[in-house]
């Protein structure tokens, strides 16, 4: 069975500093990995995904994520945080090649960017 | 395009009542899904559909029914509401392809309280 973990409930970063939101996964075979962001009282918005190829994936709003197969991680990063990046971030994993595997979301990490 | 729309935005039910949460999308997406979001639990998949006339269970299907008679609509029915079903419900859609291989587009959510 597949699983995904976001080990930090909350991350605080000063504006202008680099940020990292961590995600680790467990799945047999090749995973599809996603990051979504949720602003208050809104639905989730897609940021980026990894399927195959280059381990560094670039997405919306200046975010990027690095796929590390040996560490089974897919951490979300941004070189310089903005106050407007404050939101709830979700990592998700799926394995479309297996009909029995659905999509699993992490519990979410709340990102606070301090002015 | 309106994207994914959900009605109602808020609903209060008494235990034992039934209701239908509506979801519609205008992007001609084949895949549609229902999730519930609970504090500290992330998003959990309730039911999903790979096309009109085809539905399948997700991680937490008990107490919910779905049907998909058209590409556009994917209603979620609560048969006999229970306090454990108090949650925020999100509908999502994604383009055709392998299930859960594409990014999903989420609706704004329905906040349901069962007393």
pLDDT for position A68:
95
pLDDT for position B97:
65
The CA distance from A37 to B80, in Å, is 32
Give how far A14 is from chain B: nearest CA, Å: 25
Judging contacts by C-beta atoms under 8 Å, the chain B residues touching residue A107 are 40-42
Judging contacts by C-beta atoms under 8 Å, the chain B residues touching residue A33 are none
Instruction: Please identify every stretch of chain A with a pLDDT value under 70, giving residue numbers as ranges.
Output: 97-100
A43 with B42: Cβ contact below 8 A: no
A45 with B106: Cβ contact below 8 A: yes
DSSP class per residue in B18-79: -EEEEEEESS--SEEEEEEEETTTEEEEEEEEEETTEEEE-SS-TTEEE--SSSSB--EEES
Query: A52: closest CA among A96, A22, A21, A20?
Result: A96
pLDDT for position B41:
87
pLDDT for position A28:
83
pLDDT for position B60:
95
pLDDT in tens, chain B (115 residues): 789 999 999 999 999 999 999 999 999 999 999 999 998 888 999 999 989 999 999 999 999 999 999 999 999 999 999 999 999 999 999 987 666 888 999 999 999 999 9
């Amino acid at each position: 069975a597949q699983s995904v973990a976001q080990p930090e409930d909350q991350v605080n970063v000063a504006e202008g500093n680099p940020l990292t939101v961590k995600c680790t996964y467990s799945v047999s075979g090749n995973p599809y990995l996603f990051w979504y962001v949720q602003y208050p009282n809104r639905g989730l918005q897609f940021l980026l995904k990894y399927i195959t190829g280059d381990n560094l994936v670039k997405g919306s709003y200046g975010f990027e994520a690095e796929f590390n197969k040996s560490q089974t991680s897919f951490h979300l990063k941004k070189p310089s945080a903005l106050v407007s990046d404050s939101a709830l971030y979700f990592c998700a994993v799926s394995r479309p090649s297996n009909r029995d595997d659905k999509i699993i979301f992490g519990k979410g990490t709340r990102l606070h960017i301090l002015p | 395009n309106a994207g994914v729309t959900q009605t109602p935005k808020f609903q209060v039910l008494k235990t034992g009542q039934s209701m239908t949460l509506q979801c519609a999308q205008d992007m001609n997406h084949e895949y549609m899904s229902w999730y519930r979001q609970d504090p500290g639990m992330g998003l959990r998949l309730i039911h999903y559909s790979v096309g009109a006339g085809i539905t399948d269970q997700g991680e937490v299907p008990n107490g919910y029914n779905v049907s998909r008679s058209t590409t556009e609509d994917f209603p979620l029915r609560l048969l006999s509401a229970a306090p454990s079903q108090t949650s925020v419900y999100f509908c999502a859609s994604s383009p055709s392809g392998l299930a859960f291989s594409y990014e999903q587009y989420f609706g704004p959510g329905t906040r349901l309280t069962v007393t």
